[in-house]
Amino acid sequence: MLRKIALWSLLCFSMIARAENGYEVISPALPVQNPDKVEVIEFFWYGCPHCYSLEPAMQAWLKTKPANVEFIRQPAVFSDVWGKHAKAFFTAEVLGVSEKLHADFFDAIQNKKQKLLSEDDLAKFFADHGVKDEDFRNAYNSFMVDTKMRQAETMAGQYGVTGVPALIINGKYKVTASTAKSQENMLLITNQLIKQESQGK
């Protein structure tokens, strides 16, 4: 009985410590794309109002992030609708226009209340941003986009991500508004973890 109480107390202390640190430890740690960089992955969904409210801070952070940070946007896929938006993101990525379209896609979903789910609706959105219909459809239905979609469908689960926005630092730590206590703290804690990981390289 005493052993059970001791184990429970240790577990509670561990959970409290992680909460106070503002992050969760990913165990085992997952490999990063470039071992010479500190990797930061942002899991998001265009339909998520919390992701949208975090976006201005993310954009500001991107302008000041350390040079040794490799930043990766990663759309989460938790449903068919999420998947359609993820496919739009990967299509833009393949076409090399993701930075150009990212903010406007958020705006179209969040403020203009456009659904942007069908291929035709997306083709029009891309056309409004200077992408030819043929180029969009070729990319949208390409093997590369299909491969990225297959990877995205399982990636969130690998990192233990169950909601967005979520930031993954170097495959080792997960930071959310819940663990950080606020969106404002998310990037502060991320910066602390980047500094910690940079010192370890």
CATH number at residue 74: 3.40.30.10
The whole domain housing 142 covers 23-199
Domains in the chain, number: 1
> Which residues in the chain land under pLDDT 70?
1-20, 201
Closest CA to 82 of 129, 47, 31, 124: 47
Residue 20's pLDDT is 62
154 burial via Cβ count (<10 Å: 0-12, 13-18, 19+) = exposed
Residue 5's pLDDT is 40
Task: Say if 184 falls within a structural domain.
Answer: yes
Residue 21's pLDDT is 86
Q: Tell me the one-letter amino acid at 25.
A: V
pLDDT in tens, 89-124: 999 999 999 999 999 999 999 999 999 999 999 999
Task: Say if 4 falls within a structural domain.
Answer: no
Q: Tell me the one-letter amino acid at 68.
A: N
Residue 101's pLDDT is 97
Task: Say if 14 falls within a structural domain.
Answer: no
Task: Say if 1 falls within a structural domain.
Answer: no
Task: Say if 3 falls within a structural domain.
Answer: no
Task: Say if 5 falls within a structural domain.
Answer: no
Residue 150's pLDDT is 97
